[in-house]
Structure 1
C-alpha cells in the first residue's frame, strides 16, 4: 500500500462496479482517471470510500493489484459498495442508473488529506461527488486548499445542480466536459451557435484557464491560453464507451504535465480514449506502447481553429 504525500496527483470521488447485463466491471470516473494516469507513468492517489462487503473487498484487491494508491480509500461499516446499472445501446454508448446512499456518498475528511492536497500537482474531481452532503462537504473543504484543480464534469440526471456546479467552476483551473454537457451548461448563460463561443463563454464567466470538450467519435476541442485546438479523433471498432472520456483526460494530463505541445497532447489524449473504447470496461489492462503503435498520432491529423 502506498501513502503518497509527495508532489503527485489526487483524484476524489466515486468508485464502483459497473453492472452490465452479463458481467460486473470496476469503474467510477475518478478511479478510471487514477488508473490510467498510473498506467501512463503518473502515480495517483485516490480519495474514496468502499463498503465493508464482498464487492468492496474485491474492488480494493483489484485496485491494489493495479498499483493504485488505496491508502486514502476508506471503508464504510454501514453503507455498501456502489453499483451502477449500465446498459449499452447498439452504438456501444452506455445508459447509467446510479444507485444512491452508497459508501462513496459518505467520504469523511481525514487529517492527512490537507497535506496530500497541498502537495498535489493536480487535484481532480467530478460533479457527481457533490450529490450527498457528506462527500460534498469533504470535497468543498479540500477545494479550498491551494493547488491546481481539475473538474471532470459528470452530469447524470437527476444529479444536476446548477448552484453546486457553479461553486466548483469558480474554483478550478482546468475543466473537462463532453459536448452535450457544454451545450447544457453554456445554455444557462446564453444561446451561441459555435462550439468555440460556448467554450469561451464559460471560460470568461468563471475564469477557467483550460477548457477541454470531448466530442465522441468527432474527437475533441481545447482552448488553452486563448487559443483553440481541435482533433478529429480516431475511427475504431468500439467495444463500449465506459471510461473512454476518463482515459482521454488521463492521456491529456499525462502529456500536459510533461510540457508536451497542446496539439500533440490533444492527439495523444484522443488516441488513449479511442484505444480504451476498443476494450471492455473503463480500466482494461493494456501496454502503453500499444497506443502509440496503434495510432501514431502526428500533427497531420490536427488543425487549429
Structure 2
C-alpha cells in the first residue's frame, strides 16, 4: 500500500510523468518529476510526487522501489486501464540521450482532488514540466494546481512533438522560477529576437514573463543562474560521463534543497553543479550516493575552465 502522510509534511510537490527509461541494455526508473523527488529525498527534504502509474508489473516495481527507499508514494494515483509510462532512451557517443516517449501512459491522466489541493497549498515549491501538458486530463489538473501553488518552478524539459510555442509561453507566464538547458533557452528566445549573450537571453525571458529566478544548465560548460536579480556562474566539474539521464533533474533538486536550507546562491550553484556532475558520472537517474559524496567531488574534482 502507498505510504501515508499529513499534507503539511511536504515542502516540495513534484508533478508530472513517472516512467521507465528503456536503455539499450536495461530499464531504469525515470521521468523528470520523479527524478527531482528522488534527489530531494536523498538530500534530506520532504518531497511529494503527484503522478499516476498503471497497475501493471512496471508500475508495481516502481512503487516497490520507492517504498524500499522510504520515498513517499501517498499521492501516486493508480490507473486500472492505462499502462505505466515508458521511454525508449538512446545515448550518443557523448552520453547525451535521445528519447521516444510512448503514449498513452497513466501519467497523462493525473486527477485533481481536494487532498491534492491541500498538499500543494502547504508546500514551499511546486515543481512541474511542459511534458505534463501533452494530454488534456493532466494539463487541466496542472493548471488548477498552478492557481493555488506558492512558488511555481517550471522545469521546462522540451520534448518533440509534445510542446508548442503557445504552451511554452503559457507555462512561462504562470511560473516564478524556471530551469532550462542552453538549447531550450536559445530556442525560446529565438522566437522573439536575435541575441548573442546568455545574459541578454535570460533578461528577455525574465522581463517578458515576469520570472523571479532562472537557472540555465549548459552541460560540460557548467551553469548560470539569475537568482532574484543577481547573476552567478559555475564552470562545472570535469567527470567521465556515463550518461546524462537525470543530471539536470538532480541539479534542480540540489539547488532547491540548498535554497530551502538557506544557503547563498553561490553555495547552491556549487552544490547543484557537484551533484549534477556526480549523477552524470553514473548510469541512470537514480544512482545511490551520500551527501558526503557530493562534497568529495566538489573538493577533489577539477573545475572546467
Number of equivalences = 302
- The question of 1:249 aligning with 2:228 is answered no
2: CA distance, partners of 1:42 / 1:302: 29
Please, which of 10, 29, 32 is the counterpart of residue 32 of structure 2?
29
Q: CA deviation at 1:33?
A: 0.2
CA distance in 1, matches of 2:176, 2:235: 25
| 8 A Cα contact 2:7 2:119, kept in partner | yes
The answer on 1:229 being equivalent to 2:232 is: yes
What residue in structure 2 maps to residue 5 of structure 1?
A: 7
Determine whether 1:61 maps to 2:96: no
Partner of 2:89: 86
Q: Following the alignment from structure 2 to structure 1, what is the Cα–Cα distance between the partners of residues 169 and 5?
A: 32
In structure 1, distance between residues paired with 2:183 and 2:141: 28
Worse overlay, 159-168 or 69-78: 159-168
Question: How much does 1:257 deviate?
Answer: 1.3
Aligned partner of 1:71 among 71, 74, 86: 74
1:3 CA drift (Å): 2.3
When normalised by structure 1's length, the TM-score is 0.96
Q: Deviations over 1:193-251 (max 9, x none)?
A: 10100000000000100000000011000012222111000000111110000000001
> What residue is the counterpart of 1:134 in the other structure?
137
Q: Distance in 1 between matches of 2:258 and 2:240?
A: 25
CA RMSD of aligned residues (A): 1.6
From 196, 201, 208, the counterpart of 1:198: 201
CA drift at 1:278: 1.0
* Equivalent residues of 1:251, 1:268 under 8 A apart: yes
2: CA distance, partners of 1:246 / 1:125? 11
TM-score normalized with structure 2 length: 0.96
8 Å Cα contact 2:178-2:215 kept in structure 1: yes
Cα distance in 1 between the residues matched to 2:251 and 2:207 = 24
| Conservation of the 8 A alpha-carbon contact between 1:4 and 1:69 | no
Q: Specify the alignment match of 1:268 in structure 2.
A: 271
Q: Which runs of 5+ in 1 are unaligned?
A: none
CA contact (8 A) 1:267 1:302 kept: no
> What is the DSSP-based 3-state SS (H/G/I as helix, E as strand, rest coil) of the residue aligned with 2:124?
strand
Distance 2:80 2:7 in 1: 26
Aligned mate of 1:162, from 160, 165, 172: 165
Which residue of 1 is the match for residue 243 of structure 2?
Answer: 240
CA–CA separation in structure 1 for the residues paired with 2:250 and 2:193:
31
Query: Structure 1 runs of 4+ off > 2 angstroms?
Result: 300-303
The equivalent residue for 2:292 is 289
Q: CA deviation at 1:297?
A: 8.5
Structure 2: 5+ residue runs without aligned partners?
none
Would the aligned equivalents of 2:238 and 2:303 in 1 still touch at CA under 8 Å?
A: no
